[in-house]
């Protein structure tokens, strides 16, 4: 991906150098007029680049507005701008936002989300171990009374609370395997039972 971006940057620099060179070669005597024209073209170029960037943001925001719940029980989740899939589940009647992580074995709650869901992180027994990209962290096994996604409610759901620093709770395979089908195609995650 970085190679593609570097190639685009080189192309844009060469294009800008060619346009600037044409302006300066067109009229050597009227340097003031050439500078005015260069400024105008520069503003046009910046405006066009801003319009393209804003259009991508607008269309991306429209595409990532959130999960869609179909009448057949299928849940369709669009990929977010950061290329992840996010779902908000009701955990013990509290909405908690998760990043879908098929590489995580369990449903993993941050200490803050665990507290919001009615668990006391200070009273938990952090005897488990998890090996993450950031190293080893201690975990506490918990059972969640209810976990609701769309019109599906699961009871007595196993999960872990991480003692490590996490920005987001993880929706791992411990929960995802409850769904009969998990499919990722064309920028969408589909869950169905």
Please tell me the predicted confidence (pLDDT) of residue 64: 41
Per-residue pLDDT reduced to its tens digit, 41-51: 877 887 777 77
- pLDDT > 70 fraction of the chain, expressed in percent and rounded: 84
* 3-class state of residue 70 by DSSP: coil
- When pLDDT is cut at 50, 70 and 90, the band that residue 24 belongs to is low
Give the DSSP letter string of 33-44: HHHHHHHHHHHH
Give the CATH architecture of domain 68-192.
Beta Barrel (2.40)
Domain ranges of the chain: 2-63, 68-192
Supply the DSSP symbol for 79: P
Higher-confidence position of 82 and 141 = 141
Give the pLDDT confidence of 92-149 residue by residue, as tens digits. Answer: 999 999 999 988 899 999 999 999 999 999 999 999 998 877 788 999 999 999 999 9
- The Cα angle at residue 70 between residues 68 and 71, in degrees rounded to 5: 150
30 pLDDT tier (thresholds 50, 70, 90): low
Give the model's pLDDT for residue 57.
Answer: 56
Cβ proximity of 104 and 160 under 8 Å:
no
Cα–Cα distances (Å) from 139 to 76, 102, 147, 182, in that order, read: 31, 18, 20, 26
CA 176 – CA 152 distance, rounded (Å): 13
- Residues whose CB is less than 8 angstroms from the CB of residue 35 and which lie 6 or more positions away in sequence, other chains included: none
Select from 116, 136, 113 the least CA-distant residue to 126.
136
d(CA 155, CA 178): 12
């Amino acid at each position: 991906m970085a190679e593609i971006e570097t190639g685009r940057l080189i192309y844009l620099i060469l294009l800008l150098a060619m346009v600037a060179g044409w302006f300066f070669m067109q009229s050597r005597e009227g340097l003031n007029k050439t500078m005015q024209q260069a400024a105008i073209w520069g503003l046009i170029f910046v405006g066009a680049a801003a319009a393209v960037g804003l259009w991508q943001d607008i269309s991306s925001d429209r595409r990532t507005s959130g999960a869609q719940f179909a009448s057949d029980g299928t849940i369709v989740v669009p990929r977010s701008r950061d290329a992840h899939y996010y779902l908000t589940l009701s955990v013990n009647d509290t909405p908690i936002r998760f990043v879908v992580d098929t590489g995580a074995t369990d449903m993993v709650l941050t200490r803050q989300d665990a507290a919001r869901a009615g668990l006391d992180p200070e009273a938990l027994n952090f005897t488990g171990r998890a090996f993450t990209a950031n190293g080893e962290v201690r975990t506490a096994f918990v059972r969640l009374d209810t976990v609701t996604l769309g019109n599906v409610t699961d009871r007595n759901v196993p999960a872990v609370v991480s003692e490590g620093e996490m920005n987001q709770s993880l929706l791992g395979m411990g929960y995802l395997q409850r769904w009969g089908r998990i499919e990722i195609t064309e920028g969408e995650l589909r869950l169905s039972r």
